[in-house]
Structure 1
């Protein structure tokens, strides 16, 4: 993936990358220089108010993270399920 630096020094992280890493507007990124590379790290994993709900159509149990939640990876689902009894 490629992106450009604006005249203000800003960059845009492509949507697929943001969704994959769960990065949302307002999140903090740590930036470091390693050799000739700029390395950005999500400062903290986002926490969502996860709740288990029953789907009214199927009756199956589902996880609801709210309208602003990222697309979940299987690792994110494992972490969420580990928090439930």
Structure 2
């Protein structure tokens, strides 16, 4: 009986990481920065304002091509 348990245990150990990975990353909430409202978005200033608003990250993203608009988006785990 011990002979059958070893392959089953090995299979379980190989499958477990695959089952845990998809649910390990949570949702990310994204919002416009409420305090950084300039038309020229600077990465460092955007991150600083997002941290001040309680978010973990900030990045500049283009939201319109005509006219070109780049806004500061703040992100945090939901």
Q: TM-score when scaled to structure 2?
A: 0.25
Judging by fraction of residues, say which structure has more strand: 2
TM-score normalised according to structure 1 size: 0.24
More helix by share: 2
